[in-house]
Amino acid sequence: MQLLKDRILRDGYALGNDILLVDSFINHQVDPEMMRQIGMEFARIFGDKGVTKVATIAVSGVSPALMTALELGVPMLIMKKEVSRILSQELLQTPVHSYTRGNDYLLTAKRCFLEPGDRVLFIDDFLANGEAAMGAVRIVESSGATLVGIGSVIEKAFQPGREKLRTLGYEPVALARIGRLDEGVIEFEEN
Residues near a second copy (CB under 8 A): 23-25, 27-33, 35-36, 58-59, 62-63, 66-67, 69-70, 73-78, 80, 109-110, 113
The nearer residue to a second copy, 62 or 165, going by C-beta atoms, is 62
Q: Min. distance of Cβ 77 from a second copy in angstroms? A: 5
The nearer residue to a second copy, 84 or 167, going by C-beta atoms, is 84
The nearer residue to a second copy, 96 or 157, going by C-beta atoms, is 96
The nearer residue to a second copy, 68 or 152, going by C-beta atoms, is 68
Q: Min. distance of Cβ 155 from a second copy in angstroms? A: 22
Residue 124 and residue 127: Cα distance in Å, rounded? 7
Instruction: Give Cα 50 to chain centroid, integer Å.
Output: 19
Please report how many Cα atoms fall inside a 13 Å half-sphere around the Cα of residue 35, on the Cβ side. 23
The nearer residue to a second copy, 74 or 133, going by C-beta atoms, is 74
Instruction: Give Cα 77 to chain centroid, integer Å.
Output: 12
Going 60 to 13 to 189 to 156, the CA torsion angle's sign is negative
Q: 152 and 175 in contact (C-beta within 8 Å)?
A: yes
Q: Min. distance of Cβ 28 from a second copy in angstroms? A: 6
Q: Min. distance of Cβ 30 from a second copy in angstroms? A: 5
Q: Min. distance of Cβ 112 from a second copy in angstroms? A: 8
Q: Min. distance of Cβ 21 from a second copy in angstroms? A: 11
CA-nearest of 132, 147, 145 to 99 is 132
Helix, strand or coil for residue 8? helix
Cα angle, residue 160 at apex, residues 156 and 163 outer, rounded to 5°: 115
The nearer residue to a second copy, 38 or 134, going by C-beta atoms, is 38
Instruction: Give Cα 18 to chain centroid, integer Å.
Output: 18
